[in-house]
């Protein structure tokens, strides 16, 4: 005749609890990893939100650092960030001293790091070689399909990216 021990019942229940806890933990980890991957995909591509004066060649740009005027531009909020009186200013406008600066011709360094302006001293030295560099191709002047915007209007009211020149290549005669 088999003997039943209360200890054996307790061990089976404890074992089942452990199995259940491990299953819940693994399921939660799988869901978290899946959600994390989805979030990263949505954040890493921001071509459409970059301004026309931004540099080509970047699917993602968090900050532009402009060595000519020692100013940052934060792409997601479309704000300029610059030092004034020892404090960081976040503004929709360029610093007053540079209000006439041409964003289309000045060099922009793409910096993809959190709060890039906190590394200003390092960036100022590291990117000083780009001061007065006017060789950078910008989004407005790019012919790459990923930068083409249907709503771009150069004054001819049809979105033709060639200014006022009419494009007759596809017109039937």
* pLDDT at site 2: 52
* pLDDT at site 36: 45
* pLDDT at site 8: 56
- Does residue 22 lie within any of the structural domains? no
Structural domain boundaries enclosing 86: 48-147
* pLDDT at site 22: 74
Closest by Cα among 113, 110, 24 to 66: 110
d(C-alpha 66, C-alpha 127), whole Å: 9
pLDDT in tens, 42-57: 445 555 589 999 999 9
* pLDDT at site 153: 40
Query: For the chain, which residues score pLDDT lower than 50?
Result: 35-43, 151-173
* pLDDT at site 64: 97
Question: How many domains does one find in the chain?
Answer: 1
- Does residue 102 lie within any of the structural domains? yes
d(C-alpha 126, C-alpha 143), whole Å: 30
- Does residue 90 lie within any of the structural domains? yes
Q: Is the dihedral of CA 160, 166, 170, 173 positive or negative?
A: positive
- Does residue 162 lie within any of the structural domains? no
- Does residue 153 lie within any of the structural domains? no
């Amino acid at each position: 005749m088999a003997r039943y021990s209360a200890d054996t019942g307790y061990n089976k229940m404890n074992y089942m609890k452990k199995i259940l806890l491990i299953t819940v933990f693994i399921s939660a980890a799988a869901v978290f990893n899946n959600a994390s991957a989805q979030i990263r995909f949505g954040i890493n591509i921001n071509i459409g939100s970059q301004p026309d004066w931004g540099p080509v060649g970047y699917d993602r740009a968090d900050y532009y650092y402009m060595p000519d005027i020692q100013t940052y531009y934060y792409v997601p909020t479309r704000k300029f960030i610059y030092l004034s009186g020892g404090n960081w200013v976040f503004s929709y406008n360029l610093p007053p001293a540079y209000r006439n600066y041409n964003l289309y011709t000045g060099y922009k360094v793409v910096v993809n790091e959190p709060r890039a302006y906190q590394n200003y001293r390092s960036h100022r030295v590291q990117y000083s070689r780009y001061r007065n560099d006017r060789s950078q191709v910008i989004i407005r002047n790019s012919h790459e399909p990923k930068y083409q915007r249907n709503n771009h209007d150069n004054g001819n009211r049809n979105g033709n990216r060639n200014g006022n020149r009419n494009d007759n290549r596809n017109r039937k005669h």
